[in-house]
Structure 1
């Protein structure tokens, strides 16, 4: 299979980035270093290329009703220019992908899917259209996604605008706007991200990606912003307690087990909701409860838990598995997320982690590990 390249590939090569194969794409995993990039986002700003993500356009008079049926969240309730985190579930309630959906018009929605799942998401959505008056178009090849993340992101993104700087400053979290960037470049900008910090994601034409990247550097570099790769994005999202598909989320896991049952809209007697894919199975899980739960783990030693490491009880029996783990640059100690039995999910519970044959103790803690100051 051919490895895809971002429209910004040459920029990454010029910056001497370490490039890796990721979900079928050659993407930068780091530039100056994981810790430096992580800390730049926490204290100032980092610049990310996310052009590997999938972008889908859903249009039609029945688009809102269709997405209400196809997805776990109530998409029709999203206001114009609003955004929503939701999931595409199977009939058993398992997660096919987690998505961010933007309402660009009353009959136009824009969906961002994970790169590894994009083709599956397109197929699933098209299969669910039925009689709804709606179309699903994969526009990923036409779009580049560039993110400015960190406490200085509003200042930097606003400076990039020829028209729309006031919209950037006034934009609320999980909303978006059309702006005109310097040089006459049209962009859809959303106050969203995957780092736990304030941040903006800029959707621009793929043929204008290099100009936008350079424009971000023009205004961000004097303020200390640096390019950041996928490695720091992973440690940032883990500190923020954000799940990653393929690690915390998959088709054998329901949103309730991942601690995300709140995103499922069943409706109320006063505000009923129609049927949606996976409703019956998810309703049963909500009523009966779950056997396992995603939790945060914090260690006091220097050895970190990693994906796939066994979680053990006092007797050394495996009771769960680590889904993600890193030494936290912000907290200065090992952190991890893992699925454990509900009986061991209470904060303060001590569990063992099998780190290359040696037991390391970690303590269950509430997620997220890190939460930015408003």
Structure 2
């Protein structure tokens, strides 16, 4: 049976089209439709319910040592309130999940994981823990709302003081509040736009949702569903677990080398990635130049040879044309190359282009 987030009733009241996703029932879109929701985030502001994401606390004297071994990124030089993205790998170098770690204190870290992987991740952490450390799944305690778009910070400032707003990207204020509701306010997101993600008591989710929508009316804030979340992250070329990466794809292959610190003494998967050497396949961007829309799991050809497969694809509302991401042989991965993608028995032409497809102007 699918679970419901604390905002289920609010979505139904707002006309959300509810669908199963990652074990939850969530809105794929509202009456406005995916394109209008997407454009609202690019041009004004959108509000997303991301309460299905998982939260895990890592506490204890050996908390940092455990993160250093479990995750590919380096957490040794983080300041309190800082956030850092990292893959978590298996012994083969494949990706168990990608996640965000927040440092609350030297002995306390707040980890946000993908909804569909929450139980798997938690079990992985417990199975590989060592020393004085405690991992606690606290997902049920938290709702998570994402306020995203060029007007997001203006809306937020109507209901909170400046000291509760993080000054830098990938930083959070742990003892923040908005509209009198205690919350963690994090300058992060999955849309390629400015904005914040708010973590708060599940029971206060409805109150915060209504408060933000009410205060954002003037700025054109609207609720947005999973459909727009996916098209926005595609335009911004953000990888999605289960598509751009999985247990058989290393973070180096999918272009996440910036979050893999091979200079660290050790971490799970390091030896395998060292032995594999330079990645033999790479994640690339494809701009469709022929007729058609490319989706995931479609074969990519160059010079008559099968060179890889697409991982995600859609029509991008803001850019105005279809794009896809693909894992292809490194030999054929240079930008400018023309490739063909097989879509239902028909070849659709595309060109390899640099990622990201879209980058907001500061």
Could you state the TM-score of these two structures normalised by the residue count of structure 2? Answer: 0.97
Is the Cα contact below 8 Å between 2:314 and 2:324 reproduced in 1?
A: yes
Moved over 4 A (4+): none
> Within 5 Å, which residues of 2 pair with 1:293-332?
293-315=282-304, 317-332=305-320
- Superposed CA offset, 1:82-140 (max 9, x none): 0000011001110000001111122111111001100011011111112x211000000
Offset, 1:274: 2.7
Offset, 1:261: 1.3
Report the equivalent of 1:121: 121
Are 1:137 and 2:136 matched, yes or no?
yes
Unaligned 5+ runs, structure 1: 268-272
Look up the SS of the partner of 2:80 in the other structure.
coil
The match for 1:165 among 162, 173, 178 is 162
Partner Cα distance (2:159, 2:234) in 1: 29
Report the equivalent of 1:348: 336
Partner Cα distance (2:330, 2:88) in 1: 25
Offset, 1:348: 0.3
Partner Cα distance (1:266, 1:353) in 2: 34
Which segment is superposed worse, 342-351 or 293-302? 293-302
Is the Cα contact below 8 Å between 1:301 and 1:334 reproduced in 2?
A: no
The alignment yields a C-alpha RMSD, in angstroms, of 1.1
Partner Cα distance (1:248, 1:290) in 2: 15
Offset, 1:290: 1.5
Partner Cα distance (1:158, 1:71) in 2: 35
The match for 1:275 among 252, 259, 266 is 266
Is the Cα contact below 8 Å between 2:83 and 2:102 reproduced in 1?
A: yes
Could you state the TM-score of these two structures normalised by the residue count of structure 1? Answer: 0.94
Offset, 1:11: 0.2
Unaligned 5+ runs, structure 2: none
Look up the SS of the partner of 2:76 in the other structure.
helix
Report the equivalent of 1:54: 54
Report the equivalent of 1:239: 235
Offset, 1:242: 0.5
Report the equivalent of 1:9: 8
Is the Cα contact below 8 Å between 2:143 and 2:199 reproduced in 1?
A: yes
**What is the number of residues matched between the two proteins?**
360
Are 1:334 and 2:325 matched, yes or no?
no
The match for 1:181 among 178, 182, 197 is 178
- Superposed CA offset, 1:226-253 (max 9, x none): 1010110101101111000000010100
Partner Cα distance (2:235, 2:78) in 1: 28
Partner Cα distance (2:347, 2:244) in 1: 23
Partner Cα distance (1:49, 1:352) in 2: 37
> Within 5 Å, which residues of 2 pair with 1:32-43?
32-43=32-43
Offset, 1:313: 2.1
Offset, 1:266: 2.4
Offset, 1:166: 3.8
Partner Cα distance (2:55, 2:357) in 1: 30
Partner Cα distance (1:87, 1:263) in 2: 7
Is the Cα contact below 8 Å between 1:158 and 1:166 reproduced in 2?
A: no
